[in-house]
Structure 1
Amino acid sequence: MTRPEILWYVIPREGAYPWEPAGRRRVDLAYLQQLGVAADRAGFDGALFATDLYDVWPLASALAAVTGPRFKPLLAVHPGLVSPTQLAKQALTFAHLFGPDRLRFNVVNGSTEQLRQAGLQLDHDERYELSAEYWSLVKRLTAGEVFDHHGRFYELTSAGANLRELAPIQGGKHTPLWFGGSSAPGIELAAEHVDVYLTWGEPPGPLKEKLDRVRGRAAAHGRQLRLGLRLHLIVRDTEAEAWAAADRLLDVTSPQTYARMLGDPDTREGEGWARQFRQHGGRVPAKARELETYPNLWPGMSLFRPGPGTAVVGSTAQVVERLREFRRLGIDTFILSGNPLLEESYRIAETILPALRE
Structure 2
Amino acid sequence: MSVKFIGYIGFNNTSEVHSGVRQRALDIDYVNAAAKAQEAGGFDRVLIPFGSNSPESQLVAAHAAAITTRLGFLVAHRPGFTQPTLAARQLATLDQLSGGRVAVHIITGGADDEMARDGDVGVSKAERYARTDEYLDILRQEWTAAEPFDHKGRWYEARGAHSLIKPQNLPVFFGGSSPEAIEVAGRHADVYALWGETIEQVQDAVRQVRRSAQRFGRDPGFSLSLRPVIADTEEAAWKKADDIVEQVRANREAAGLPISGHRPANAGSLRLLETAQAGRRDTRLWTGVAALTGAQGNSTGLVGTPEQVAAGMLDYYDIGIDHFLIRGFEPLDDAVDYGRELIPLVRAKVAEREGRPIALAG
TM-score, normalization by structure 1 = 0.89
Give 2:80's aligned amino acid.
G
Please report how far the alpha carbon of residue 218 of structure 1 lies from its aligned counterpart in structure 2 after TM superposition.
Answer: 0.9
Structure 2 CA distance for aligned equivalents of residues 206 and 96 of structure 1: 38
SS at match of 2:108: coil
Kindly tell me: are residues 62 and 263 of structure 1, through their superposed partners in 2, closer, same or farther at Cα, counting changes over 3 Å?
farther
Does residue 1:116 correspond to 2:116, yes or no? yes
Structure 1: runs of 5+ lacking an equivalent: 282-289
- Per the alignment, residue 57 of structure 2 pairs with 56
Equivalent residue runs for 1:129-168 within 5 Å:
129-145=130-146, 146-160=148-162, 163-164=163-164, 166-167=165-166
**Residue 15 of structure 1: how far off its partner (Å):** 3.1
Deviations, residues 46-86 of structure 1 (Å, cap 9, x unaligned): 10111242110221111111111x31110111101111111
Q: Could you tell me which residue of structure 1 aligns to residue 13 of structure 2?
A: 14
Q: Is the 8 A contact 1:242 1:314 kept in 2?
A: yes
Secondary structure of the 2:14 match is coil
The one of 274, 278, 289 aligned to 1:278: 274
How large is the RMSD of aligned CA atoms in angstroms? 2.1
Q: Secondary structure at the match of 1:21?
A: coil
The 3 A distance-change label for structure 1 pair 262 and 77 is: farther
| Partner residue in 2 for 1:249 | 244
Q: Distance in 2 between matches of 1:75 and 1:261?
A: 31
| Residues 319 and 340 (structure 1), Cα distance of their counterparts in 2 relative to 1, 3 Å cut | same
Residue 200 of structure 1 is matched in structure 2 by 195
- Report % sequence identity: 27
Q: What TM-score do you get using the length of structure 2 for normalisation?
A: 0.88
Q: Which residue of 2 aligns with 1:285?
A: none
Structure 2 CA distance for aligned equivalents of residues 333 and 112 of structure 1:
29
Q: Which residue of 1 aligns with 2:351?
A: none
**How far apart are residue 16 of structure 1 and its match?**
6.3
Distance 1:333 1:225 in 2: 11
Residue pair 2:12, 2:27 contacting (<8 A) in 1 also: no
Query: What does residue 28 of structure 1 align with?
Result: 27
Which moves more between the two structures, 318-327 or 144-153? 144-153
Q: How far 1:308 sits from its partner (Å)? A: 1.5
Once the two structures are superposed, the pairs formed by residues 187-266 of structure 1 within 5 Å of their partners are 187-253=182-248, 254=250, 255-256=253-254, 259-260=257-258, 262=260, 264-265=262-263
Q: In 2, distance between residues paired with 1:24 and 1:220?
A: 47
1:105 aligns with 2:107: no
What is the one-letter code of the residue matched to 2:64? L
SS where residue 12 of structure 1 aligns?
coil
CA contact (8 A) 2:6 2:43 kept: yes
The 8 Å contact of residues 18 and 25 in structure 1, kept in 2 or not, is answered as no
**1:286 aligns to what?**
none
Q: Aligned partners of 2:25, 2:141: CA distance in 1, in Å? A: 41
Whether the 8 Å contact between 1:16 and 1:24 is mirrored in structure 2 is no
What amino acid is the match of 1:219?
A: Q
Which one of the candidate residues 321, 335, 341 is aligned to 2:325? 335
Which residue of structure 2 lines up, in the alignment, with residue 41 of structure 1? 40
Greater displacement, 253-262 / 223-232 = 253-262
Partner of 2:289: 301
Secondary structure at the counterpart of residue 308 of structure 1: coil
The offset of 1:23, in angstroms, is 9.7
Aligned with residue 182 of structure 1, among 177, 180, 186 = 177
Q: Give, in whole Å, the separation in 1 of the partners of 2:280 and 2:135.
A: 39
For residue 50 of structure 2, what is the amino acid of its counterpart?
T
Residue 27 of structure 1: how far off its partner (Å): 5.8
Question: Retained in 2: the 8 A contact 1:14–1:339?
Answer: no
Consecutive aligned runs of 4 or more in structure 1 exceeding 4 Å deviation? 16-19, 22-27
- Report matched runs for 1:77-88 at 5 Å: 77-88=77-88
